[in-house]
């Protein structure tokens, strides 16, 4: 069997690792031979098949994590131990998955693990930004302050995501309904109209013949039709998730009118908020940039910051690197960074910048809804006009013949 352990050496320093042994007694014996005194020994259980997939899909909602941070900060500042606070929060949590995670954290903390180390076991709930900031808070003795910063950050993230999602739900529903109606018409309505054309043996235009041909195939091969549709949707989805697809789509998003502005503002807001929070909590600039790059949604913003983190190690200013590398960040971000570097108040400047872009995102999402509605109306009009030209016009021609 395989065991993991936490032990203390002669100097009282913690050491952890893994070891194969028959049982816990053998692990303890081997550790004592190495002059290590164990504080925790636990068996490493084999992973259950499907667990990683489930944990990757079912993430903890931002709202739950925000409330968790806020309440944990209040409890810790009131003098409660972390283990006791986690126990109370775990019992109160309504989300079953998150409840299990919190109670697991309590158990790990009681065994001697730090809160940050315990959280790293649950990446589906706590990302690198979260665990890095918690680690800084524990090391510096400012855990309640860090939890307050995290709570605010999660609240801002929740608002941003809700705004964007809200702006896109309406057009997404309209598009899905349009496609569904088109498919149903092709399968059930067009074949009935086709019978009329066959009775009159009419000479049909090319567009009408194309529509009838597609309709005949869909009506006669319903299972195959839906199979092709699902295959196409699945192919697009998997292509988007691939590295090549990510580069392609994210480049398209940066080129599309209106969408490119929203992408730029979203990534700028997230960059400023997270980098500012990390620097404020005491994380070094190089490490903060590496962590921030993992949280950015657009591939080209992410790569820009990854490259910048390598250049910063050479002593260059971040604003100078972004300016010279033709990064996708707007001039305002680079200029404000320069001001922060010159005044020594980069975290404060970034927080103000984040607030500005978060307001801009809110305004942009409202404008997005106003822009998308007439565009959808035009698309619906084109679809109706195409149907009229392909089907209704030939019907009127037949009526004239009669």
Task: Examine residue 277 and state whether it is found in any structural domain, yes or no.
Answer: yes
pLDDT for the residue numbered 336: 93
Domain with 134, as residue range(s), is 60-152
pLDDT for the residue numbered 41: 73
pLDDT for the residue numbered 202: 67
Please indicate, yes or no, whether residues 128 and 159 belong to a single structural domain of this protein. no
Please indicate, yes or no, whether residues 309 and 199 belong to a single structural domain of this protein. yes
Cβ–Cβ under 8 Å, residues 305 and 288 = no
Cβ–Cβ under 8 Å, residues 27 and 38 = yes
For the chain, the domain total comes to 3
Task: Examine residue 55 and state whether it is found in any structural domain, yes or no.
Answer: no
Give the end of a domain, one of 152, 175, 200. 152
Please indicate, yes or no, whether residues 86 and 183 belong to a single structural domain of this protein. no
Q: What is the pTM of this model?
A: 0.68
pLDDT for the residue numbered 167: 75
CATH number at residue 386: 1.20.81.30
pLDDT for the residue numbered 50: 36
Contacts of residues 14-17 at CB distance under 8 Å and 24 or more positions apart, as own/partner, are: 14/39, 14/112
Please indicate, yes or no, whether residues 10 and 104 belong to a single structural domain of this protein. no
Please indicate, yes or no, whether residues 275 and 308 belong to a single structural domain of this protein. yes
pLDDT for the residue numbered 234: 93
Task: Examine residue 231 and state whether it is found in any structural domain, yes or no.
Answer: yes
Which secondary structure element, helix H or strand E, spans residue 320, and what is its range? helix 318-324
Walking along the chain (402 residues) 10 residues at a time, the average pLDDT comes out as: 75 78 75 77 53 44 88 89 92 90 92 90 85 82 83 80 78 84 86 79 80 88 90 92 90 88 89 87 84 86 90 88 88 92 91 89 77 80 82 72 52
Please indicate, yes or no, whether residues 168 and 313 belong to a single structural domain of this protein. yes
DSSP 17: E
pLDDT for the residue numbered 57: 37
Task: Examine residue 71 and state whether it is found in any structural domain, yes or no.
Answer: yes
Q: Which tokens hold the place of 390?
A: 């392909």
Closest-CA residue to 70 (of 126, 147, 181, 159): 147
Please indicate, yes or no, whether residues 184 and 321 belong to a single structural domain of this protein. yes
Task: Examine residue 261 and state whether it is found in any structural domain, yes or no.
Answer: yes
Q: How far apart are CA 305 and CA 321, in angstroms?
A: 10
Q: What is the CA radius of gyration of the chain?
A: 29
């Amino acid at each position: 069997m395989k065991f993991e352990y936490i032990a203390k050496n002669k100097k009282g320093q913690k050491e952890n690792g893994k070891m194969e042994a028959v049982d816990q007694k053998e692990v303890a014996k081997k550790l004592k031979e190495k002059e290590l005194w164990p504080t925790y020994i636990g068996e490493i259980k084999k992973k259950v098949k499907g667990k990683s997939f489930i944990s990757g899909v079912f993430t903890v909602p931002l709202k739950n994590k925000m409330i968790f941070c806020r309440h944990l900060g209040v409890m810790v500042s009131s003098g409660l131990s972390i283990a006791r606070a986690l126990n109370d929060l775990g019992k109160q949590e309504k989300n079953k998955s998150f409840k299990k995670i919190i109670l697991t954290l309590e158990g790990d903390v009681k065994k001697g693990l730090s809160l940050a180390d315990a959280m790293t076991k649950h990446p589906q709930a706590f990302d690198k930004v979260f665990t890095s900031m918690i680690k800084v808070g524990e090391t510096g003795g400012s855990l309640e302050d860090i939890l307050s910063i995290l709570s605010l950050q999660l609240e801002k993230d929740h608002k941003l995501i809700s705004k964007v999602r809200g702006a896109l739900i309406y057009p997404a529903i309209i598009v899905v309904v349009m496609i569904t109606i088109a498919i149903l018409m092709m399968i059930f309505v067009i074949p009935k109209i086709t019978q009329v054309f066959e009775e009159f043996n009419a000479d049909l235009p090319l567009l009408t013949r194309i529509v009838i041909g597609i309709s005949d195939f869909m009506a006669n091969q319903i299972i195959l039709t839906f199979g092709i549709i699902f295959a196409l949707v699945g192919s697009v989805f998997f292509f988007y998730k691939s590295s090549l697809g990510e580069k392609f789509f994210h480049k398209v998003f940066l080129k599309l009118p209106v969408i490119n502005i929203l992408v730029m503002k979203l990534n700028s807001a997230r960059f400023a908020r997270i980098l500012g929070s990390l620097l404020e909590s005491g994380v070094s600039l190089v490490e903060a940039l590496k962590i921030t790059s993992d949280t950015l949604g657009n591939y080209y913003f992410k790569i820009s910051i990854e490259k910048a983190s390598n250049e910063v190690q050479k002593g260059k200013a971040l604003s100078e690197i972004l300016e010279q590398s033709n990064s996708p960040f707007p001039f305002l971000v680079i200029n404000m960074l320069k001001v922060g570097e010159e005044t020594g108040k980069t975290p404060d400047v970034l927080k103000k910048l984040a607030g500005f872009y978060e307001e801009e995102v809110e305004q942009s999402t409202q404008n997005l809804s106003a822009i998308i509605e007439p565009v959808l109306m035009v698309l619906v009009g084109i679809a109706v006009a195409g149907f009229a030209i392909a089907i209704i016009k030939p019907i009127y021609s037949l009526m004239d013949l009669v």
